[in-house]
Amino acid sequence: MTSSRFDRLYTYLNEQQVDAMLITLPKHVYYLTGFLSDPHERFLGLVVPREGEPTLIVPALDREAAEAASSVKQIATHTDTENPYDVLRRTLPAGTKVLGLEKGHLTVNRYEAILESIGADRYVDIDAVLRDMRLLKTPEEVAVIKRAVAIVEDVLRAGLKKVAVGVSEIEIVAELEYQMKKLGAEGPSFSTMVLAGENSALPHGNPGERKIQAGELLLFDLGVYVDGYASDITRTFAVGELSDKQKEIYQAVLDANLKAIERVQPGATLASLDQAAREHITAKGYGEYFMHRLGHGMGLDVHEYPSVHGQNQETLRAGMVFTIEPGIYLPGVGGVRIEDDVLVTENGVEVLTTFPKELTVIG
């Protein structure tokens, strides 16, 4: 897996006549080497030359951990009293004229240190190279994402057991986040949402002391990181008996979710998925209450490329993973959102989230 990723980098370096690249985003170092670390203010970098082997540069105190985890076995270190940019200069091929950098991540301070130490003629942005590589998930990556999905679904099941009339949103959040730790997640992949009643009509509301009442919609939006990869799921439940209006918007959102999923196959545009969901919700008379994009890419980041919105004419390719999460938010009444994580396959779609979607009464 890792070596084919390096092949992509070598192809880029050769085609673009770039002498070497320096990768410093910790998630990208993990993606390429298997070594996951937060170096804080210290310097961590992976040097990939056009010709020859890559070298991982780590703080001296991380040498052992890097040797154990990294598939790149050539490792250089720097102590706190050494200038890491001297180590970088010695690591780069002699006479490097064009150096690739992650310009969307690197700070100006570090850039200036590189300009001073390296003195190449040109520095090119390699963000798109890595973004495009990450876009198509390998089977190994999909397997990790499935574990992240399995854990978050177990978390949701456990959290539902705590739901009762009179329990507050934040009490349920506490239970969910406890279960995340208990079930072995690294942590939430974003701020866990439990929103009851009219709060569920706020697409990015904040859980509070609001107590769950009978006859309400209860919206859960949660995700976890597992081995560096994210999951993200939303389900909305009925606490006791719902009104016809509440049931109607639930059904409209569920059908929109299913219609979008039906369209997923290589060659379809991202826009067409958003449109499929939006047209259905609009036909049901709720178009103005679905005021966000359909979904977002998901992988090493819970929100990553591509964006699933009505203007994105990019086409689906096997290996893409993204969310499909239509919603209807009626002020004062409540909101429904149903979010799945899907994988584009050679033949169509695999829905990674397995939690049932039919309207379920809880509490």
Q: Which residues bind its own copies (CB under 8 A)?
A: 101, 103-109, 111-112, 123, 125, 127, 170-171, 173-175, 177-178, 181-182, 207-209
CB of 173 to its own copies, least distance (A): 7
CB of 127 to its own copies, least distance (A): 8
Q: Which is nearer to its own copies, 1 or 111 (CB)?
A: 111
Check residue 31 and report its DSSP letter. H
Q: Which is nearer to its own copies, 153 or 171 (CB)?
A: 171
CA distance 54 to 73: 9
Distances in Å between the alpha carbon of 320 and those of 121, 223, 297?
Answer: 36, 18, 8
Asked if 195 contacts 205 with a C-beta cutoff of 8 angstroms, the reply is: yes
279-295 burial, b at 16+ Cβ within 10 Å, e below that, comes to ebbbebebeebbeebbb
Q: Which is nearer to its own copies, 127 or 227 (CB)?
A: 127
CB of 43 to its own copies, least distance (A): 14
CB of 104 to its own copies, least distance (A): 5
Check residue 285 and report its DSSP letter. T
Strand, coil or helix: 229: strand
One-letter amino acid for residue 304 of the chain: E
Can you list the pairs that 107-111 forms with residues at least 24 positions away whose Cβ atoms lie under 8 Å? 110/24, 110/43
Q: Which is nearer to its own copies, 92 or 238 (CB)?
A: 92
CB of 103 to its own copies, least distance (A): 4
CB of 170 to its own copies, least distance (A): 4
Q: Which is nearer to its own copies, 112 or 241 (CB)?
A: 112
Strand, coil or helix: 231: coil
CB of 169 to its own copies, least distance (A): 9
Q: Which is nearer to its own copies, 179 or 272 (CB)?
A: 179
Closest C-alpha to 31, from 2, 63, 67, 53: 2
**CB-based burial of residue 257 (10 Å sphere; 0-12 exposed, 13-18 middle, 19+ buried)?**
buried
Lookup: tokens for 188: 């939430």
CB of 257 to its own copies, least distance (A): 25
Strand stretches in 223-330, DSSP E: 224-226, 229-230, 233-239, 295-297, 304-308, 321-324, 327-330
Q: Which is nearer to its own copies, 76 or 174 (CB)?
A: 174
Q: Which is nearer to its own copies, 125 or 241 (CB)?
A: 125
Asked if 239 contacts 165 with a C-beta cutoff of 8 angstroms, the reply is: yes
